[in-house]
């Protein structure tokens, strides 16, 4: 697997005095003020509201981060309002159109692109926001959630547990170019990361949406080394744990993760037990281990988000919570075996 767009962005945007050039501007060669894709399918957005709405201080007081998303599509009017608040035109004066976001000299170098998955009246795909016309331009149709996750270096709320950065060695294994010679694979020492070879599990706690719904507090459990497993939900309120996360000796999900770890740490002599093969991590199956793990995990998360939205409306019985977490864990285990058929 070659260098991805996320890795390329990290590499090419690093600050370096040798690549900055002379600090001067060629005003004769300046780009157009507005970037547009006029030949593409265009979706007109509803006019944004510029007045009314909740008071600023009330909004700040009520602000919370949440990853329990509604299973319904985003209304186009709401998407229009978000885009206007981010980059929309707020005032027109001779020679300038001022926007919601500030910019030195009113140059506005930032372009806004959207990966749309579930918005009313909008086809799934990648869009560009035409600021001046307040219009969306469809650049490419299709579901690009996984590609966007890869471009963002697979960052999601469980990815903190998979951090492979080794600051002592200044090692960033997901962004470094792979050696051209397969006989000389790239390794990284993980002994000072969460993903050390001896790590047996990791848990990410997602708090309850409100004090009166404490039963919805979720433990996202990754059995085995985090870079070799997927997160599955477990609720203390369910009164039990899923079968794939338990067992008389070891748990099936843990057994799979340890088998994958054995593949990722190929040293058989015992001299380098803490060195992970980045080459194997990034090239397995043509797309790499993270892409396969994320495909399974994202499906588990999507199913969990949907059921949590239902449970927020009506409190579930402990048996219902236990049944769902069992089905999610079984799905993850079976899906991992399909994604990694030779890992046993």
User: Do the Cβ atoms of 196 and 164 come closer than 8 Å?
Assistant: no
Which tokens is 287 given? 């797309």
Q: What pLDDT score does 168 carry?
A: 47
Which residue from 88, 77, 82, 81 is spatially nearest to 132, judged by alpha carbons? 88
pLDDT band at 156 (very low <50, low <70, confident <90, very high): low
Q: What's the CA dihedral at 171, 172, 177, 181 to 10 degrees?
A: 50
Residue written as tokens 């299973």? 71
Which tokens is 210 given? 């409100």
Least confident of 153-167, 229-243, 314-328: 153-167
| The pLDDT of residue 223 is above 50 | yes
| The pLDDT of residue 317 is above 90 | yes
Q: Where in the chain is the domain with CATH 3.40.109.10?
A: 27-143
More confident residue, 101 or 182: 101
- Quote the CA–CA distance of 130 and 191 in Å, as a whole number: 48
Mean pLDDT in residue range 47-76? 78
- Quote the CA–CA distance of 289 and 343 in Å, as a whole number: 12
| The pLDDT of residue 289 is above 50 | yes
pLDDT band at 206 (very low <50, low <70, confident <90, very high): confident
Q: What pLDDT score does 342 carry?
A: 95
> What are the pLDDT digits (tens) for 265-276?
887 666 667 888
Q: What pLDDT score does 170 carry?
A: 46
Highest-confidence segment of 103-107, 148-152, 301-305, 321-325: 321-325
The H-or-E segment that residue 189 falls in is strand 187-189
Q: What pLDDT score does 205 carry?
A: 85
Q: What's the CA dihedral at 32, 35, 40, 41 to 10 degrees?
A: -130
User: Do the Cβ atoms of 208 and 214 come closer than 8 Å?
Assistant: yes
- Using only C-alpha atoms, the chain has a radius of gyration, in whole angstroms, of 24
Query: For the chain, what percent of residues have pLDDT higher than 70?
Result: 83
| The pLDDT of residue 153 is above 60 | no
Least confident of 58-72, 183-197, 289-303, 320-334: 58-72
First to last CA, the chain: 23
> What are the pLDDT digits (tens) for 117-146?
889 999 999 999 999 999 999 999 998 877
Q: State the fold for domain 27-143.
A: NADH Oxidase (3.40.109)
The H-or-E segment that residue 329 falls in is helix 318-339
């Amino acid at each position: 697997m070659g260098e991805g767009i996320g890795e390329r962005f990290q590499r090419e945007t690093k600050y370096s005095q040798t690549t900055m050039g002379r600090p001067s501007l060629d005003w004769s060669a300046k780009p157009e003020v507005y970037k547009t894709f006029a030949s593409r399918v265009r979706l007109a957005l509803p006019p944004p509201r510029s007045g009314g709405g909740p008071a600023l201080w009330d909004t700040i007081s009520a602000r919370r981060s949440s990853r329990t998303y509604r299973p319904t599509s985003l209304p186009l009017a709401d998407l229009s309002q978000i885009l206007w608040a981010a980059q929309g035109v707020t005032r027109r004066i001779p020679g300038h159109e001022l926007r919601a976001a500030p910019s030195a000299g009113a140059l506005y170098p930032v372009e806004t692109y959207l990966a749309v998955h579930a918005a009313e009246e909008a086809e799934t795909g990648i869009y560009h926001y035409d600021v001046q016309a307040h219009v969306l331009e469809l650049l490419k149709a299709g579901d690009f959630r996984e590609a966007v996750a890869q471009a963002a270096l697979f960052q999601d709320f469980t990815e903190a547990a998979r951090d492979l950065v080794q600051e002592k060695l200044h090692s960033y294994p997901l962004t470094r170019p792979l050696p051209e010679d397969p006989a000389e694979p790239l390794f990284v020492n993980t002994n000072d990361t969460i993903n050390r070879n001896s790590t047996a599990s990791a848990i990410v706690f997602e708090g309850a949406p409100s004090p009166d719904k404490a039963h919805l507090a979720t433990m996202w459990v990754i059995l085995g080394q985090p870079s070799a497993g997927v997160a599955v939900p477990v609720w203390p309120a369910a009164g039990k744990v899923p079968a794939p996360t338990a067992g008389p000796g070891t748990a099936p999900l843990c057994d799979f993760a340890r088998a994958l770890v054995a593949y990722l740490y190929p040293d058989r002599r015992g001299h380098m037990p803490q060195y992970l093969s980045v080459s194997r991590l990034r090239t397995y199956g043509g797309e790499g281990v993270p892409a396969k793990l994320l495909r399974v995990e994202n499906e588990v998360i999507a199913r969990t988000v949907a059921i949590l939205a239902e449970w927020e409306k009506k409190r579930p019985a402990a048996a219902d919570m236990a049944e769902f977490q069992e089905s999610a864990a079984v799905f993850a285990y079976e899906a991992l075996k399909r994604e990694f058929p030779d890992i046993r």
